[in-house]
Amino acid sequence: MSTSTYFFPLLLSLVIISSVSANFQRDVEITWGDGRGQIKNNGELLTLSLDKSSGSGFQSKNEYLFGKIGMQMKLVPGNSAGTVTTLYLKSPGTTWDEIDFEFLGNSSGEPYTLHTNVYTQGKGDKEQQFKLWFDPTADFHTYTILWNPQRIIFTVDGTPIREFKNMESIGTLFPKNKPMRMYSSLWNADDWATRGGLVKTDWSKAPFTASYRGFNQEGCVWSNGKSSCPNGSKKGTTGSWLSQELDSTAQQRMRWVQRNYMIYNYCTDSKRFPQGLPKECLAA
């Protein structure tokens, strides 16, 4: 193992996005769970819980047509098998757009699976999955979706793990026309979540609880059919998130994560695509 490889995880662990002043009472609303979702500490903390009766969830009050949306999360500790904690952007309707973080729980001592996906017009099947290089249940970590007209970048504690570029020029769908809200939920999916549904939820460990703080929303807010950003959100000023891309250092960090922690990539699953890999995979 090279010296640079040895010290890289330490470097990554120190790269933390600073939290901004956020208030859940102002910025979100709990939408389901019959009291299992709670806002605490004068709006600085939010918790979601899951028991055998129900999970819980919340959504942003704002809709966005492009944005940089981040959240500090501490996931369900211990034996979280069968549980799914989510953070995602989604538009309404049957031909929806969606950008996903999904955290699939596991048995005690085993790492979570971080599942990412992108849907456009109701069509997804663009999964990449990762194991994390830290324990996401021991402390809060920041998960961010950057969505601009050119690309979608998924980051963990400021480290990019995935980039999905706008490749409409070769026929790949890209979400760019439908405003989306931020959603989060904690729910039971032991029919598929943990090892394909082989490991079931241990309800003796319930209630399961995930915690949230530091909701960071930089976005083009969509209201009454109009965007808060100039030029209809089509481009941003130099250096802003609306035109942000990965520099060489960020690309190196993303490659390191993908080389060491990616466990599934639809772009390498030739058995799934016997007629040939999707065009965006060949162009990447």
10-residue stretch averages of pLDDT, the chain, 284 residues long:
45 38 92 98 97 97 96 96 95 97 89 95 95 95 97 98 97 96 94 73 94 95 91 56 95 98 96 92 84
Q: Active site residue: 63, 98, 110, 163, which one?
A: 98
Q: Residue 107: what pLDDT?
A: 86
Query: Which tokens in the block code for residue 218?
Result: 């930089």
Q: Active site residue: 63, 102, 127, 245, which one?
A: 102
Q: Residue 233: what pLDDT?
A: 52
Q: Residue 200: what pLDDT?
A: 85
Cα R_g (the chain), whole angstroms: 19
Q: Residue 196: what pLDDT?
A: 73
Burial grade of 112 (CB within 10 A; 0-12, 13-18, 19 or more): buried
* Ordered structural domains, the chain, with CATH: 24-223+242-281 (2.60.120.200)
Q: Residue 11: what pLDDT?
A: 43
For residue 110, indicate whether it is catalytic: no
Q: Residue 234: what pLDDT?
A: 56
Burial 185-211 (b: 16+ CB within 10 A, else e): bbbbbbeebbeeeebebbeebebbbbb
For residue 63, indicate whether it is catalytic: no
CB-based contacts of 54: which residues, under 8 Å, 6+ apart? 32, 33, 34, 36
